Structure 1
Amino acid sequence: RARAGAWAAAARVAQGRRRVEGAGRSPSPVARSQRAALYVHWPYCEKRCSYCNFNKYIPRGVDEAAMRSCLVTEAQTLLRLSGVQRVESVFFGGGTPSLASPHTVAAVLEAVAQTAHLPADSEVTLEVNPTSAPASRLAAFGAAGVNRLSIGLQSLDDTELQLLGRTHSASDALQTLAEARRLFPGRVSVDLMLGLPAQQVGPWLWQLEELLRRCDDHVSLYQLSLERGTALFTRVQRGALPAPDPERAAEMYQEGRALLREAGFRQYEVSNFARHGALSTHNWTYWQCGQYIGVGPGAHGRFVPQGAGGLAREARIQTLEPDNWMKEVKLFGHGTRKRVSLGELELLEEVLAMGLRTDVGITHQHWQQFEPQLTLGDVFGASEEVNRLLEQGLLLLDHRGLRCSWEGLAVLDSLLLTLLPRLQEAWQQKTPSPVPGG
């Protein structure tokens, strides 16, 4: 506990130094294979929201000491297996990780710091639900080493919150937001959903405008996705609720991103907006196809298992059910249920699809780290279909690399329908199939 407190104290000093001096520069570069982000999944919630199909559980009682011990063990095991020497960010997600105790967060951070280099100014994010985050608890998480909060606000309309099955009111959300901004100035993100059944454009834009009067420097806009097996899906299927209108949702998204741009926010990713440089460095790792290690029940990861003599990046999924996951961690040191080696083309498809989600897109230098033989020009430059997208102003391919325009970001899924087949075709031309009997 004392060691965890020492790490958290160092983190607070570094955080203050960066704000005052503009410090926080990375030490000497570490090879890509030795750097990673860490995701920690807390699987428990107070109740299941009507739209949610995430891996979460509503327990009668949680043995937090056992869960804490297993999270620590798995984090250390996977860090050693990956050969990662530097953890650049940590994200506590869920579930509702703000239901965990600050001591659990501190223990995991200390375990990471003991196993790899965790710089004192690394971004450490905690997802927060308003009903589980009074000011005193937020302060305790800060003392444990958290330096950024992501608040699941979702709506400022109490009727919509009830429809979504949220346990908080709009008043609760705004109070938590105010307390979070006081404790973590410049380091608070809020989520707002759009495209709900019967939701109208004007009232939703009013919510966003109200939020902009009170929020910090990071906003995420997420369109509702009706997932089979959820209560909301069932109500729509039975006709108890109207189906969300995709055209209306698209109008909300376009109007919302324009409003955010006017307010000084940069749309640095399809759903994420930041000002004053408050980008999420953890999520940026995902979009840049960096390595990340997933810890906890159902967590996902992408890394090269150096400790097992691996050469290819693996997609990993941990065992879903918490009790079974804990049994496996106690037996084997980790609860990885599924491992899939990613082929070179599969990795390039991820680089393309994830990189184009950002306003930076894919630079030539970034692409060459994954594909040193085929340039972006080789793959896309001679395609008539791609050139039509360039002429329409939806894509840009120039000395910087390949990226979507502001208009193109809004229709990325349709652009990928052209780009992914072109990548696959170029890859097949580069690596022709062997001739039978040759």
Structure 2
Amino acid sequence: MIRSTCFPVLFRVLRRFFSEVRTDVRECASKPDLTQEASLYVHWPYCLRRCSYCNFNKYIPKENKDNIMTECLQRETETLLQLSQVSCITSVFFGGGTPSLADPSTISAVLETVSKQASLSDQAEVTLEVNPTPAGKMKLEEFHLAGANRFSIGVQSLRDKDLRSLGRDHSSHEALQTIEEARRLCPGRVSVDVMFGLPKQTAESWEKQLSELLTVCDDHVSLYQLTLERGTQLFKQVQSGGVSMPAEEVTAEMYQHARETLHQHGFVQYEVSNFARNNSESRHNLSYWRGKQYIGVGPGAHGRFVPLGEGVVAREARTQTLEPDVWIREVQQMGHGTRRRIQLGRLDLLEEVLVMGMRMTDGISHKHWELFCPQMNLHEVFGESMRVQELLLGGQLILDDRGLRCSWNGLGLLDSILPTLLAELQGHRCRQLKKYPDLQWRL
């Protein structure tokens, strides 16, 4: 699942793509190499408790429905794979919720369903999000035997007082034990999630915690700035004055220090929130950022793919029903719980390619942009803009023979750069449609 980056404004821009109804629908021509492959996201909606900061689609179950949930995940996977006609699933990601609460047989059952419908290579990345509790740690080996070959561990903090304020149900000691066991099972394929900008956190305490993390982590680290979300317990505590948050300049200092420290320890930043060494980048998340198809299965999951023959060949944004019991009923009745389908128009698709692509340190190559917009290259769309020229001259953006990307300093300002790029893309497209009303853009 795509999580927030460390930039609140960018998070709001991204969230729009997963929630906003689109009305500008155009017919697009398909491109075989964009439609034959996809990644698969599987959402397990249940948690034992709700963290104070979390507004994800998760539920506290009143009764055990693991068996029926597994059956429905299998059936929806089968239905959507048939509908998408993809011939190859390149990666699978089990997120939530707390998927490590599921029985390991759920993982093997879904993977078996995938293998029956499409090619799933022995080299395919299969990631499972893990809550680092004793129960989660004990099941790691079973999950590995079931097919998970990569673990993403929600450590969040190595300070027990921080974990308590976040409403987490694990301790720092339990997190360290889980990391150790995961590394034993999947060396080089363990990711650690850690948050900064926590209540009362200082730059000094963050630096100390980061140093400690680097002594135990594997080859992948994801950094997320804590974002206050309306309706959460933490939001109410901050609004009432009961809890204080670090100032923006302090969180900016935390982020820059983390980037520099991770770089010194051999980690390469390949996306605004993600760092890897020894070629341990998340292939699944890279497929999102590179604008590839993905299929979302489970309550509240999102997907982007071209459905089987309904006249218009266009990529759709699909959202599954949020509430698990309702979703189960719909899957049993129809084979899937798709609640909303929206055909993505030309501008919609290019906006997503731009927003997702600019998150990566490599940015958007000319070849990649041409897959979606062969008529107008990056220089034509962005190079002639005065506002973009200011960013280029100021050293925040780079537009050269490789493509369009942020500089090291610019990546830390991405939330303020993206609105400029989006406005320029929208304005350029309007001008081109007036000039060439029959202009066709690819899927």
Indicate whether the TM-score tops 0.5. yes
Letter in 1 for 2:89: V
State the shift of 1:60 in Å: 2.2
Q: Give the deviation of 1:425 after TM superposition.
A: 1.0
Change in Cα spacing, 1:149 to 1:429, as seen in structure 2 (3 Å) is same
Give the whole-Å Cα distance in 1 for the aligned partners of 2:387 and 2:304: 32
Match of 2:93 in 1: 91
Partners of 2:282 and 2:148 in 1: CA distance: 14
Between the aligned residues of both structures, percent identity stands at 59
Q: Which amino acid aligns with 1:224?
A: L
Give secondary structure in 2 for the equivalent of 1:306. Answer: coil
> 1:240 aligns to what?
242
CA contact 2:197–2:245 (8 Å) conserved in 1: no
1:105-124 pair list within 5 angstroms: 105-124=107-126
Deviation at 1:413? Answer: 1.1
Q: Give the TM-score normalised by structure 1.
A: 0.91
Measured after TM superposition, the shift of residue 242 of structure 1 is 1.3
Pick the aligned partner of 2:400 from 376, 389, 398.
Answer: 398
Following the alignment from structure 2 to structure 1, what is the Cα–Cα distance between the partners of residues 199 and 253?
A: 14
In structure 2, what is the Cα distance between the partners aligned to 1:382 and 1:248?
Answer: 36
For 1:2-81, list aligned pairs within 5 A.
Answer: 31-81=33-83
Alignment of 1:172-251 (within 5 A): 172-251=174-253
Q: 2-side partners of 1:239 and 1:333: how far apart? A: 48
Q: Relative to 1, partners in 2 of residues 1:248 and 1:393: Cα closer, same or farther, differing over 3 Å?
A: same
Quick one: which of 366, 384, 387 aligns to 2:386? Answer: 384
Measure how far apart 1:252 and its partner are.
Answer: 0.3
Q: Mind listing any 5+ residue stretches in structure 1 that lack a counterpart?
A: 1-28
What are the Cα deviations for residues 79-98 of structure 1, in whole angstroms up to 9, with x where unaligned?
Answer: 11111110000000000000
The answer as to whether partners of 1:124 and 1:146 remain within 8 angstroms in 2 is yes
1:418 equivalent among 407, 417, 420: 420
Q: 1:42 to 1:134 in 2, by over 3 A?
A: closer
| CA deviation vs aligned residue, 1:232-256 (integer Å, no higher than 9, x gap) | 0011111111144211111100111
Cα deviation for residue 78 of structure 1 reads: 0.4
After superposition, where does 1:258-273 map in structure 2 within 5 Å?
258-273=260-275
CA distance in 2 between partners of 1:132 and 1:286 (Å): 32
Q: What residue number does 1:161 align with? A: 163
Would the aligned equivalents of 1:74 and 1:296 in 2 still touch at CA under 8 Å?
Answer: yes
Separation in structure 2 between the aligned mates of residue 133 and residue 430 of structure 1, nearest angstrom: 57
Q: CA deviation at 1:131?
A: 1.0
Q: 1:301 aligns with which of 287, 303, 307?
A: 303
Task: Give the distance between the partners of 1:406 and 1:274, measured in 2 at CA.
Answer: 16
Q: What residue number does 1:359 align with?
A: 361
Q: Equivalents in 1 of 2:281, 2:370: separation in Å?
A: 24
Aligned 8 A contact 1:81 1:308 in 2: no
Greater RCO (Cα-Cα under 8 Å, separation 6 or more)? 2
Q: Tell which deviates more after alignment, 194-203 or 128-137.
A: 128-137
1:349 is matched with 351
SS of the aligned residue for 2:434 comes to coil
Output the CA distance in 1 between the equivalents of 2:187 and 2:331: 37
CA separation of 1:49/1:429 partners in 2, compared to 1, >3 Å: closer, same or farther? same
Q: Using the alignment, how far apart are the partners of 1:345 and 1:124 within structure 2?
A: 32
Q: Quote the offset at 1:314 in angstroms.
A: 0.8
Q: Distance in 1 between matches of 2:426 and 2:134?
A: 47
Residue 339 of structure 1 pairs with residue 341 of structure 2: yes
Q: Offset at 1:197?
A: 1.9
CA distance in 1, matches of 2:308, 2:397: 37
Whether the 8 Å contact between 1:80 and 1:307 is mirrored in structure 2 is no
Q: Which amino acid aligns with 2:200?
A: A
The alignment partner of 2:123 has SS state of: coil
Equivalent residue in structure 2 for 1:373, among 369, 372, 375: 375
- 2-structure distance, mates of 1:192, 1:237: 24
2:315 pairs, out of 307, 313, 316, with 313
Secondary structure at the aligned position of 2:76 is classed as helix
Q: Say whether the 8 Å CA contact 1:217–1:278 is kept in structure 2.
A: yes
User: Contact conserved, 1:394 with 1:407, CA < 8 A, in 2?
Assistant: yes
Cα-to-partner distance string for 1:318-374 (whole Å, 9 max, x where unaligned): 000001000000111100001111110111011111100001100000000000101
Aligned partners of 2:157 and 2:214: how far apart in 1?
Answer: 13
Equivalent AA in structure 2 for residue 238 of structure 1: S
CA distance in 2, matches of 1:84, 1:330: 23
SS in 2 for 1:73: helix
Aligned equivalents of 2:320, 2:135: Cα separation in 1: 28
In terms of mean alpha carbon deviation, does 132-141 or 402-411 score higher? Answer: 132-141
- In 1, the alpha carbon distance for the partners of 2:309 and 2:167 equals 44
Residues of 2 paired with 1:252 and 1:90: CA distance? Answer: 32
Once residues 30 and 264 of structure 1 are traced to their aligned partners in structure 2, the CA distance between those partners, rounded to angstroms, is 37
> Who is 1:432 aligned against?
434
**What letter is aligned with 1:276?**
N
Decide whether aligned partners of structure 1 residues 287 and 211 sit closer, same or farther in structure 2, where only a CA change above 3 A counts: same
Change (3 A) 1:134 1:196: closer
Task: Give the AA of the match of 2:230.
Answer: R
Q: Unaligned regions of 5+ residues in structure 2, if any?
A: 1-30, 438-443
Return the offset for 1:133: 4.5
Specify the alignment match of 2:4 in structure 1.
none
Q: Deviation string for 1:34-88 (max 9, x for gaps)?
A: 1000000000001000000000001122221111110000001001111111000
In the TM superposition, residue 31 of structure 1 has moved relative to its aligned partner by 2.2
Q: Report the number of matched residues.
A: 407
RMSD of aligned C-alpha atoms? 1.5
Query: Matched residues in 2 for 1:331 and 1:46: separation?
Result: 28
